[in-house]
């Protein structure tokens, strides 16, 4: 069945179709998630309003957290489609689609066209990439730039034309514009580690690397120099030191993690395909060494040599040993670098999804064509793991929906999520179908069953399940209850005891004054101008008798971040 789609056009059509379901369907359905989405979306809006493409601001103050590439793309989307959630997330979604196609091309060049198709499907159906595609932050952009750099590096490594060096510099420069120095440091470490492993120092000393340096400088450096000059160095100090060096040396915002943190993130973030990750690495990475160790030779004999049919093989075969080494360097560099760093967040290892997908795709391709003999119990464990994923998803959504009122939830439940527990039936039924195919030794059917399970699980959950949380997020719901603010009306908007809700700025399209204490609140509501004050209901009930003003509540909504009711007061 897979062989019938052996045309690049059909492959692209299938991958883009799956990607559209996973990344674009109901992209703007969920209101902004705080903190990052609110800050990024509002920062781009403020830059657009000020016609300022250089200095990022939030609440009219310098924002040093991220470089400008995401903001530029969001501004383009705002101008094309309007200022709303869909536009804010569109750059991430398109970056994810491009990542899928790059993964396809890289796997096709490294191995075979069918492996490329499988790799694209795997990448498109991982929850880690799906989440990044639907989130308005720079992670998807950094990921696609790094994947582009690695793909260009591999495709041009053999002939190394002059433009290859320049293109590497451009793609690395874009990565640095997306999120900073990691965009060149880590791809550079991967490339140097691979060349050292292959003992190809002649490539490392090629004089044409100066073209890479120039292309990188011309791509990334102008904006950094400009924003440094405009802010008198404040942006560069804040971004490069606080958000890069200090993140590596201390756990910012209390984001700690245990030593194996990123291995767990990788297993969860690539589910359900991670059920094959361990065995794929075992039978794949033996190729990274020229001669397998004697004690493991018997176990590895079933994985070599790779026997392929002519129909499945592209005309230009690559060095499979080098391919596996390159993927190994890619995975290890990212896992080691961020495991050593003090600040740990799941999205940091997003760029490992593609190399892991390629390893799994190659394993599945060899397994389904019976060129790789795998003990049957390993396949059975994989199918059983798919069943467990479905059960775990159903149980998790049921508990999160408040069924059972378990103490471990500490009252933070979201009624309505329990109805989505039925999505867990997808992997359960997929496991049953995969088991039947496995008994028939129809391994292509097993792969299709896993792919369909992933689409049926993560597609609806991302597209519609995430929108269920709108009823538990206050900013968008509060503004929907209020009259719209005219841009030419002079009024003031304040906020008290509601930190970490930056999406309020995005929805009111104005600056918000964060009040420090009760005296500041009293002075704020005593103004003759129209004022609007956002604060927790409990604080309003305590202050109501102390404030000698005629305030009225015009909106109220529960907020899941502060776990409290939020109200909006006005003197008009």
DSSP 121: H
Q: What is the pLDDT of residue 428?
A: 94
Give the rounded percent of residues in the chain with a pLDDT score beyond 90. 60
258 band by pLDDT with thresholds 50, 70 and 90: confident
State the number of CA atoms in the 13 A half-sphere of 15 facing the CB: 28
Strands 513-514 and 492-495: parallel
Cis peptide before 305 (omega within 30 of 0): yes
Q: What mean pLDDT do residues 415-436 have?
A: 90
The CA distances from residue 101 to 12, 81, 118, 321, in Å, are: 7, 25, 11, 23
Q: Which of 43, 48, 36 is nearest to 58 (CA)?
A: 43
User: What angle, rounded to 10 degrees, do the helices at 69-81 and 85-110 form?
Assistant: 120
Q: Is residue 132 part of a domain?
A: yes
Q: Would the pLDDT of 249 be above 70? A: no
Whether the upstream peptide bond of residue 272 has omega within 30° of 0, thus cis, is yes
Domain boundary among 347, 374, 401: 374
Q: Which tokens hold the place of 140? A: 């998807």
Are 325 and 211 within one domain?
yes
- Return d(Cα 239, Cα 225) in angstroms, integer: 13
CATH assignment of the domain containing 551: 3.40.190.10
pLDDT at 530: 87
Q: Does residue 451 form part of some domain?
A: no
State whether 172 and 25 are in the same domain.
yes
pLDDT band at 250 (very low <50, low <70, confident <90, very high): low
Q: What is the pTM of this model?
A: 0.92
Same domain, 369 and 478: no
Band of residue 206 on the pLDDT scale cut at 50, 70, 90: confident
Above 90 in pLDDT, residue 163?
A: yes
Q: What is the Cα gyration radius of the chain?
A: 26
In a domain, 237, yes or no: yes
CA distance 305 to 361: 17
Check residues 242 and 269 and name the one with the higher pLDDT: 269
User: Of 374, 405, 431, which residue sits at a domain end?
Assistant: 374
Label residue 488 exposed, middle or buried (CB < 10 Å: 0-12, 13-18, 19+): exposed
- Structure token digits, residue 515: 């009040």
pLDDT at 452 over 70: yes
**Higher model confidence: residue 119 or residue 481?**
119
Strands 492-495 and 531-536: parallel
Q: Would you say residue 552 lies in a domain?
A: yes
Mean pLDDT value across residues 427-431 = 93
The string of pLDDT tens digits covering residues 456-479 is: 999 998 888 888 888 889 899 999
Mean pLDDT on 234-253? 77
Q: How many CA atoms lie within 13 A of 159 on its CB side?
A: 7
Q: For residue 184, how many other CB atoms are within 10 A of its CB?
A: 22
Domain that holds residue 550: 474-570
- Tell me the per-residue pLDDT of 271-323, one tens digit each, with 9 for 90 and over: 999 999 988 988 887 766 655 555 555 555 555 444 444 334 443 344 778 89
Q: What is the pLDDT of residue 297?
A: 56
pLDDT band at 341 (very low <50, low <70, confident <90, very high): confident
């Amino acid at each position: 069945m897979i062989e019938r789609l052996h045309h690049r056009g059909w492959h692209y059509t299938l991958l883009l179709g799956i990607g559209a379901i996973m990344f674009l369907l109901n992209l703007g359905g969920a209101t902004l998630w705080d903190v990052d989405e609110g800050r990024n979306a509002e920062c781009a809006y403020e830059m657009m309003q000020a016609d300022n493409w250089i200095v990022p601001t939030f609440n009219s103050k310098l924002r040093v957290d991220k470089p400008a590439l995401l903001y530029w793309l969001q501004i383009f989307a705002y101008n094309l489609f309007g200022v709303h959630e869909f536009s804010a997330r569109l750059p991430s979604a398109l970056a994810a689609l491009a990542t899928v196609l790059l993964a396809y091309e890289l796997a096709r060049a490294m191995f075979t066209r069918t492996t490329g198709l499988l790799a694209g499907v795997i990448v498109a159906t991982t929850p880690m990439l799906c989440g990044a595609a639907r989130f308005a932050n720079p992670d998807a952009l950094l990921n696609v730039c790094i994947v582009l750099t690695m793909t260009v590096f591999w495709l041009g490594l053999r002939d190394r034309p002059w433009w290859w060096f320049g293109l590497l510099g451009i793609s690395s420069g874009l990565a640095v514009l997306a999120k900073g120095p990691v965009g060149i440091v880590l791809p550079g470490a991967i490339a140097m580690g691979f060349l050292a492993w292959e003992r190809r120092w002649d490539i490392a000393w090629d004089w044409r690397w100066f073209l890479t340096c120039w292309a990188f400088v011309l791509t990334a450096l102008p904006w950094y120099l400009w924003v440094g000059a405009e802010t008198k160095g404040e942006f560069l100090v804040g971004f490069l030191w606080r958000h890069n060096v200090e993140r590596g040396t201390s756990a910012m915002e209390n984001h700690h993690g245990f030593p194996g943190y990123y291995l767990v993130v990788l297993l969860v973030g690539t589910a359900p395909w991670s059920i094959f990750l361990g065995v794929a690495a075992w039978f794949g990475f033996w190729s990274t060494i020229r001669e397998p160790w004697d004690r493991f030779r018997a176990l590895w004999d079933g994985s070599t040599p790779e026997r392929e049919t002519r129909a499945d093989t592209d005309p230009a075969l690559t060095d499979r040993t080098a391919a596996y080494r390159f993927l190994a360097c890619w995975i290890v560099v990212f896992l080691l670098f961020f495991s050593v760093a003090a600040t740990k967040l799941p999205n940091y290892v997003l760029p490992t999804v593609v190399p892991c997908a390629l390893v799994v795709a190659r394993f599945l391709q060899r397994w389904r064509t019976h060129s790789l003999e795998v003990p049957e119990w390993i396949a059975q464990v994989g199918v059983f793991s798919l069943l467990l994923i479905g059960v775990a998803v159903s149980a998790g959504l049921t508990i999160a929906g408040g069924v059972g009122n378990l103490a471990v939830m500490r009252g933070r439940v979201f009624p309505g999520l329990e109805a989505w527990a039925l999505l867990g039936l997808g992997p359960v039924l997929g496991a049953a179908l995969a088991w039947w195919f496995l008994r028939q030794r129809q391994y292509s059917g097993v792969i299709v069953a896993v792919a369909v399970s992933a689409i049926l699980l993560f597609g609806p959950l991302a597209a519609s399940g995430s929108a269920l949380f709108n009823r538990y997020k206050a900013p968008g719901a509060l503004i929907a209850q209020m009259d719209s603010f005219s841009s030419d009306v002079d009024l003031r908007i304040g906020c008290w005891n509601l930190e970490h809700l930056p999406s309020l700025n995005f929805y009111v399209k104005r600056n918000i004054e964060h009040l420090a204490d009760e005296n500041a609140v009293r002075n704020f509501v005593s103004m003759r101008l129209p004022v609007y004050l956002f604060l927790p209901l409990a604080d309003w009930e305590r202050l109501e008798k102390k404030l000698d003003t005629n305030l009225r509540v015009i909106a109220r909504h529960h907020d899941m971040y502060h776990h409290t009711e939020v109200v909006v007061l006005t003197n008009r």
